[in-house]
Structure 1
Amino acid sequence: MPTTITAAVVAKAKADARPGSKRYEVSDARAKGLVLRVGPSGAVWQFRFAVNGKDTRLALGDIETWTIAEARDIVGRGQAMLRDRSGMPDAKWIERLLVRTGKIAEATMAPAPERPRDVFKWSFEQGRAEFLGEMKRTKSPITAADYRQKICAAEFEPFLKRPLPTITRAEMAGVVGKIHRSGRETHAANTARVVSAMWSWLEKDQQIDAAGVTPGVMRGLKAPERTRRPSKRMVADPTLEDLGRIIAIARSGAIDPIIGCAVELVVWTAQRRRAVASPMIEDFRALNGDEEGLWYVYADDRKRSDGEAHVVPLPASAWACVKRAMAIVEAAWHRRLDDDPDASKPEYLFPQTRARRRGMPLTHLDPSTLTHAMGFMPGVENSPHDVRRIFGTYGERVLGWSRLSSKMILDHSEGGLRTDVTGKHYSLHDGTHEKWPIMRKWAAAVEEDVARAVEGLEPIDELKGAIAERRYKGSGLRMLAAE
């Protein structure tokens, strides 16, 4: 309970402050936050207050330095600073008071900040948490995770406790430049984009008062120019030989059958690996007596946060791959039912067999599994991303379709056809009538190379040995398949 600190209380504190004595505190009833702390090493004045819900103890000096009246005056000034948000009581402030009152000759610490109100604004860590929370609410899970990975990099740790208004564009440019100089040039460009997006969000009316940032301060932040690399010259027409071998190995039994089906679907559809790894069984629809089908790629499996599904036609060969995966998943579920009658039916076409970390739920294959599976295949040089490049290049140069046709299959927004007013509100057709000829022509071309690859395929034991060698010696890890 607070007690009015008097001369008698101070005298007793002096007497009690001796080696071996017990520690105790006396809270002053006349100056809220003023505390006299007594212990074996002496008796000192303290100012206790809270900022943003965090309790702080500021040492004012010992009882020989300040009288009771002076200590109360200091606490009163500190309370006024906090109330008016005109500054933060700290050790530098106490030192300036000591100099002003003649108790020490000169200050040895840095001067007060030019804008003391900045200390009451969000720190970088607080602003980042708010920004990432908003990205989780408004963006697709994949995009939100990408933002988190960029803005939570180790290079930002020195800024965590800094108030946002004190962080300059030059400092952020320095972080981006450091990443660029380390050789991660693409990462540097993406980091600059995310930092700029975060500051643009902090400038909005809803949070600018809490953030305190200057509008436009990070606008246009960019990474240094990328290093010029020799251009790739392709004189001969691209071939599908590699893709035929990929499917032949995927079907051979040399790799896990579910992973094999997923790798096949990459080749048949030319969709991004994250979309291929994560579809749910209900995303597929049978057509023509279960001979062909449609795949509805929803926003959560793409980089878009909302919008209509991207519909991919599946000709017979592609649909057979999907049906084979469904049969494998169904059979595995029935086997589990023998041991656990309450086992839930899998939702994903390519489910995980084990969680990535202990305690995490089982979901779907990790996209990197597809990259590694193709990288471990002997005689295969292409990654999942290369399949998309081959689809566009071979399709336009050899199979003869247009650039717009490539975009209808490869683009998230189908070449922009679904992003204008007509596509959003009036013409709601999925466009498959134009996509079917493209996908059937692609499937027919790939099937020819699959047949040739199967004829020349090595024995399964030889394939397994080669895959194991590439896997454990790391030669297949050369492809990271950035998308």
Structure 2
Amino acid sequence: MPEKLTVSSIEKHARSGRRAEIADTSAPGLVLRSNVSSSTFVFRWTDQREKRRLVLGTVDGLPLADARAIAHKAADLVRQGFDPDDEWLRQTRTPQAVAPVKRVTWTWTEAREAYLLEIGGPNGLKAATVDDYRKALYHRAFKRFERRFVCDLTDEDLSEALAGYQREQKGKAAEGLRRRVRPFWTYLQRMDIRRKSGVTRRLQIDLPAHRSTAKTNVRWPHPADVAALFAKAIEGELGYASRAVVLLCLTAQRRATVVSASPTDVRDGVWHIPPVHRKTAEKRGDTRIHALPWPPEVAVGNHDSFVFPADRPRKAGDPLPHMAASTLTHALRDAGVGFSPHDIRRSFTTTMRILGFAADPALVLDHNEGPRSTMDAHYDSYRDLPRKREMLDVWREYLTGSKAMSDEVWYEHTGQKRIKKTTKA
């Protein structure tokens, strides 16, 4: 069984008088072989599916720290395509006779930069997602690993770092860091990266039990509250963000999807949302478009790239990007409506279910729309468009005041009362 070897555990196994092989979790390939007469350190590796081993020395003549150092050097040699032998071991145990061996695998810093460069490339993740991973991997909880080789890091090292951070902060920040380290580690153990990273095994990070004391206030804004916001946006009272908020209210799409809408995506009254602008498509590797009726209340405009261009470029000379997604959040906050852009999606879903549409709101919200055949996935993007149009037409009637939801019915289904605190922007 693998375990983290210590001087005391080695003595315990040596005194047991039993035959055993214990893999050290702190050094790749290092194994303690214990039997009746003696105990030795062994380095094990696989060469073209053939298991190989090299006896490093007895536990009496080779300290644990030295055995680990030799195992790390041997692992580097194997990753370069060479096999450690007795002569190499003799020279390694007498370093004064040979030049020091230089590690050729990545440190945490080098691995992090390689990973960010890969996910930030032309075929990588969205800029905001890359920035999220960059902040996580530069977090102070990982500062102790900056100069360490990633192949030396153990489950215990990373678990201790994140557990210590969790004990000093509130909420689920440590869990968020763990979620972001996992794809980073998956990249490091990828076959085409292993010779550079030296990482050959999966990572398991354990966190202590944590009960959050933070109070969350999840809102299901009443349709009339969303209607009040819609009325402000139609009248242009939200300024620069007004048109985008109109589209947000009428379609219940995510902020990033709304602000990245392009005139080329709107054809024949249908909004063809490409996979690159869909959160669920990126997660599932979905290549279909998400088709929705484009509301006539929102003019497409004459901008070449975006329906909602930003008011200025990020840097002088750069092309004009689309409006920032955070602009919509700020617009709702400044309007004092008491809910966020994402809460509109909750309101839409709840309203549709009260009206008997059951699971159909997922079709509009671009959640997982269920299993599809190959024909469905690649050629039938319009199959559910009539059902989506039906729901959005009903939703429009609530936003424009043609229909109304009673406070009693809303409270019965959500347990929440009207916000009723909208103010002029």
- Shorter chain as denominator, the TM-score bin is 0.5 to 0.7
Structure 1 residue 133, shift from structure 2 partner: 3.1
Partner of 2:232: 249
**Residue of 134, 149, 156 corresponding to 1:170:** 156
Name which of structure 1's ranges 433-442 and 363-372 shifts more when overlaid on structure 2. Answer: 433-442
Q: Cα distance 1:375–1:281, how it changes in 2: closer, same or farther (>3 A)?
A: same
Partner of 2:182: 196
- TM-score, structure 1 length as denominator? 0.56
> How far apart, CA to CA, are the structure 2 residues paired with 1:211 and 1:136?
19
Q: Please tell me whether Structure 1 or Structure 2 has the larger radius of gyration of its CA atoms.
A: 1
3-state secondary structure, aligned to 1:319: coil
Q: What amino acid is aligned across from residue 319 of structure 1 in structure 2? A: P
> How far apart, CA to CA, are the structure 1 residues paired with 2:131 and 2:402?
38
3-state secondary structure, aligned to 1:355: coil
Whether 1:309 aligns to 2:309 is no
Partner of 2:357: 401
Query: Is the contact made by 1:176 and 1:223 (CA closer than 8 Å) also made in structure 2?
Result: no
Q: Which has the higher helix share?
A: 1
> How far apart, CA to CA, are the structure 2 residues paired with 1:448 and 1:368?
28
Structure 1 residue 384, shift from structure 2 partner: 0.3
> How far apart, CA to CA, are the structure 2 residues paired with 1:311 and 1:367?
21
Whether 1:350 aligns to 2:332 is no
Paired residues in the alignment total 313
Q: Superposed, which structure 2 residues align to 1:291-440 within 5 Å? A: 293-303=269-279, 304-305=281-282, 307-314=287-294, 318-320=295-297, 322-323=298-299, 326-327=300-301, 330=302, 345-356=303-314, 360-378=318-336, 380-397=337-354, 399-403=355-359, 405-413=360-368, 415-418=369-372, 421=374, 423-425=376-378, 427-440=380-393
Q: Cα distance 1:145–1:360, how it changes in 2: closer, same or farther (>3 A)?
A: farther
Whether 1:208 aligns to 2:210 is no
> How many percent of aligned residue pairs carry the same amino acid?
27
Query: Is the contact made by 1:188 and 1:223 (CA closer than 8 Å) also made in structure 2?
Result: no
Cα deviation, 1:372-419, whole Å, max 9, x if unaligned, reads 1000103x111001111111112112x22112x111111344x2345x
3-state secondary structure, aligned to 1:245: helix
> How far apart, CA to CA, are the structure 1 residues paired with 2:383 and 2:189?
38
Q: What amino acid is aligned across from residue 116 of structure 2 in structure 1? A: L
- TM-score, structure 2 length as denominator? 0.64
Q: Cα distance 1:362–1:407, how it changes in 2: closer, same or farther (>3 A)?
A: same
Q: What amino acid is aligned across from residue 309 of structure 1 in structure 2? A: I
Query: Is the contact made by 1:118 and 1:165 (CA closer than 8 Å) also made in structure 2?
Result: no
Could you say what the CA RMSD is over the residues aligned between the two structures, in angstroms? 3.6
Query: Is the contact made by 1:140 and 1:300 (CA closer than 8 Å) also made in structure 2?
Result: no
Q: What amino acid is aligned across from residue 297 of structure 1 in structure 2? A: I
Q: Superposed, which structure 2 residues align to 1:217-232 within 5 Å? A: 218-219=203-204, 224-227=209-212
Q: Cα distance 1:148–1:232, how it changes in 2: closer, same or farther (>3 A)?
A: closer
Structure 1 residue 350, shift from structure 2 partner: 0.6
Q: Cα distance 1:382–1:222, how it changes in 2: closer, same or farther (>3 A)?
A: same
Q: What amino acid is aligned across from residue 335 of structure 2 in structure 1? A: M
Q: Cα distance 1:166–1:203, how it changes in 2: closer, same or farther (>3 A)?
A: same
3-state secondary structure, aligned to 1:128: helix
> How far apart, CA to CA, are the structure 2 residues paired with 1:356 and 1:180?
36
Partner of 2:258: 276
3-state secondary structure, aligned to 1:271: coil
Query: Is the contact made by 1:273 and 1:384 (CA closer than 8 Å) also made in structure 2?
Result: yes
Query: Is the contact made by 1:243 and 1:449 (CA closer than 8 Å) also made in structure 2?
Result: no
Structure 1 residue 213, shift from structure 2 partner: 1.5
Structure 1 residue 153, shift from structure 2 partner: 3.0
> How far apart, CA to CA, are the structure 1 residues paired with 2:218 and 2:242?
32
Query: Is the contact made by 2:224 and 2:404 (CA closer than 8 Å) also made in structure 1?
Result: no
